[in-house]
Amino acid sequence: MNVINKITAPTTCCSPDPERSDGASLQTYISTVWKQLGAPIVLSGLIFAVLLLLVPSQAGTSLTFTFEALVGILPFILLSVALASYLKASGADQIVAKAFEGSPVKAIAVASIFGALSPFCSCGVIPLVAGLLAAGVPIAPVLAFCIASPIMDPEMFVLTAAGIGLEFTVVKTMAAVCMGLLTGYVTLLISKTGALDDVLKNIAKPSCGASSCSPDLKEARPVWKFWQESARLKTFWSETLSSGWFLGRWLAFAFLLESLMVAYLPAATVAEWLGDGNPFAIPLAVVIGVPAYLNGYAAIPLVRGLLDLGMSPATGLSFMLAGSVTSIPAAIAVWTLAKPRLFALYLVMAASGAFLSGVVYAAVLGML
């Protein structure tokens, strides 16, 4: 009987490889942890682990710094999350279609303003923009919206005002609108030459030539008393938890980086490279900001720390603008819909707008 059992038992060629299984299990575990906690938590944990091994005293200092900074900005986090959740639950975000009505010249202006004030997250705007393009909305106002939208929203306005100051926040909002206008009108001029023909991927191309083939973007109306509908109330709480978790993680990570910056980055070096005395400070900020793919919320504590160390406000503005527009979520939103030629235009306009905004802000500050 034992012999039969041995003969009929699975052979090694059919059984899982222990080493391969262990490797696959470890890879699956790491992937699961990364998805559940997210990049900021995992990276923060790694940084603290390194500090504990190499500089234990700095680990305690950074932990205290991060905790106190989070507590200090907590009221503004709660306010911004509540505002964003209200706009989402009420359906106020659906009125964005109104921004694209009328002639392209008018639509670009309205889309730029709406983009700077809208509560959309970068990835959440993908289906909306795809629907607009599929409905036949010209590329120029849509690209203007895509440039302005990741720079500012109600949440970011509140947090930037709390972290850096109201004046800087208002200037950043104005820059978002101006960058949208610049991008929109430049795109409109280029479109007239035919250089932007066939620059959309299939997901965003107009189809059937009729609105019946694309989402109806004009029917939705906001329900301001959303709590009277259980589904909308559920959306409110879901958005509150999602936004709170998102902001909390990224801000904690940013405050941790700020603590290290304060500890190890000499103020004299920052002032020399990014201060008013360096004529290349703004171009340098743009060059660093574009490939940095820096989350707009994470940039707030970092820029505040750099300002305290001697960076000029105009340089900080250029850095934040370039980083916001080319952050991974914002870049993915455009890359999903655009072919490389249009995506390249998006990056060029992001860098150009960030540079010009910094130069203008520096000139204004110089006159005050």
- List the beta bridge partners of residue 338: 200
Q: What is the pLDDT of residue 122?
A: 57
Please report the pLDDT score of residue 31 as a whole number. Answer: 64
The Cα diameter of the chain in Å comes to 97
User: Does any domain span residue 17?
Assistant: no
Comparing 268 with 185, which gets the higher pLDDT?
185
Dihedral angle of Cα 315, 320, 322, 325, to the nearest 10 degrees? -160
Tell me the C-alpha distance between 293 and 322, whole Å.
9
**Which CA distances in Å does 156 have to 29, 43, 355?**
33, 23, 21
For residue 216, is pLDDT > 50?
A: no
Measured CA to CA, the distance from residue 153 to residue 291 in angstroms comes to: 22
Q: Is the pLDDT of residue 85 over 70?
A: yes
Asked whether 149 and 125 are in contact (CB, 8 A), the reply is yes
**Cα 342 to Cα 301: distance, rounded to the nearest angstrom:** 32
25: in domain: no
At 209 the pLDDT is: 45
Task: Evaluate if residue 364 carries a pLDDT over 70.
Answer: yes
In this structure, are residues 303 and 320 in contact, taking their beta carbons and an 8 Å threshold?
yes
pLDDT recorded at residue 10: 45
The chain-wide mean pLDDT, for the chain, equals: 80
pLDDT score of 3: 41
Q: Does residue 2 lie in a domain region? A: no
Q: How far, in Å, CA of 75 to CA of 159, rounded? A: 10
Q: Are 157 and 76 in contact (CB under 8 A)?
A: no
Read off the pLDDT of each residue in 276-283 and give the average, rounded to a whole number. 86
Whether residue 42 is contained in a domain is answered as no
Q: What is the mean pLDDT of residues 281-298?
A: 78
Please name the residue ranges forming H helices in the chain.
Answer: 2-8, 18-37, 39-54, 56-90, 104-117, 126-134, 139-148, 154-163, 166-192, 230-264, 267-274, 281-292, 296-309, 313-325, 328-335, 340-367
In a domain, 89, yes or no: yes
Q: What confidence tens digit (pLDDT) does each residue in 3-35 have?
A: 444 434 444 444 455 554 455 566 665 566 566
Which has the minimum average pLDDT: 115-129, 211-225, 238-252? 211-225
pLDDT digits (tens, 9 = 90+) for 121-171: 655 566 667 667 766 778 899 899 889 988 998 888 999 999 999 999 999
Q: What is the pLDDT of residue 14?
A: 47
Cα separation, 119 vs 29, whole angstroms? 34
Residue 38: how many other CB atoms lie within 10 Å: 16
Number of domains in the chain: 1
Residue closest to 231 by CA, chosen among 119, 97, 126, 91? 91
Distances 271 to 126, 268, 276 between C-alpha atoms, Å: 39, 5, 8
Q: pLDDT exceeding 70 applies to what percent of the chain? A: 77
Mean pLDDT is lowest, of 81-85, 296-300, 332-336, 361-365, for 332-336
Q: Which residue would you say has higher pLDDT here, 19 or 349?
A: 349
pLDDT (0 to 100) of residue 186: 96
C-alpha–C-alpha distance, residues 292 and 299, integer Å: 10
Residue 41 lies in a domain: no
- pLDDT score for 54: 94
Query: Alpha-carbon distance 125 to 177, whole Å?
Result: 17
Are residues 66 and 255 in contact, defined by beta-carbon separation less than 8 angstroms? Answer: yes
Classify residue 235: in a domain, yes or no: yes
Q: Contact, 200 vs 134, CB < 8 A?
A: no
Residue 3 lies in a domain: no
- For residue 80, the enclosing domain spans 56-216+224-367
How much is the pLDDT for 213?
39
Phi-psi region of 194 (alpha: psi -120 to 50; beta: other; left: phi over 0): left
Cα 306 to its chain centre, rounded Å, is 20
- Residue 26: helix, strand or coil by DSSP? helix
Rounded average pLDDT over 218-245: 84
**What integer pLDDT is reported at residue 268 of this predicted model?**
74
Q: What is the pLDDT of residue 212?
A: 37
Closest CA to 152 of 240, 80, 243: 80
Q: What is the pLDDT of residue 362?
A: 93
For 157-208, the pLDDT digits (tens) are: 999 999 999 999 999 999 999 999 999 999 999 999 988 888 877 655 554 4
Give the total residue count for the chain.
368
Q: What is the mean pLDDT of residues 61-84?
A: 87
Looking at per-residue pLDDT, the higher value among 114 and 358 belongs to 358
Residue 7: the pLDDT is 38
pLDDT value at residue 50:
95
Least confident of 29-33, 40-44, 221-225: 29-33
Q: What is the percentage of the chain residues whose pLDDT exceeds 90?
A: 32
Residue 220: pLDDT band (50, 70, 90) is low
In this prediction, residue 115 has a pLDDT band, given cuts at 50, 70 and 90, of confident
The two tokens of residue 313 are: 């406000």
